[in-house]
Amino acid sequence: MNIVTHCLINTIEVPTMTTILEQIITEKDRQKLKELRNLLEEIIETIDIILDKEAIRKIREAEQDIKQGRTKTWNQFIKELKTSS
């Protein structure tokens, strides 16, 4: 009889990976893993933008607008939004 059959017949509780991890990973570890996950998501988003030629073109265009003074204050922007509606 193999171990799987033995476990099924005798209903031996086999801990799940989640149960094992809950026992060995501290709350501090969980927090660090969440931070790492967030950082990896940010890196993926950055790579996605870098690979998007149109997005890069628009960013460069916006940088030129700023250098040339083609900007508006927040209040000007809101006023234009209200008048265009």
Q: How many residues does the chain have?
A: 85
Q: How many domains does the chain have?
A: 1
The vertex-35 CA angle with 21 and 20, nearest 5°, equals 0
The CA distance from 66 to 64, in Å, is: 5
* Tens-digit pLDDT profile for residues 42-83: 999 999 999 999 999 999 999 999 999 999 999 999 999 999
Q: Is residue 6 part of a domain?
A: no
Q: What is the pLDDT of residue 73?
A: 94
Q: What residues make up the domain containing 61?
A: 25-84
Which tops the pLDDT comparison, 23 or 58?
58
The CA distance from 47 to 24, in Å, is: 34
The vertex-36 CA angle with 35 and 41, nearest 5°, equals 100
Q: Is residue 49 part of a domain?
A: yes
Q: Is residue 10 part of a domain?
A: no
pLDDT range class, residue 19, cuts 50, 70, 90: confident
Q: Is residue 40 part of a domain?
A: yes
Residue 4 confidence (pLDDT) above 70: no
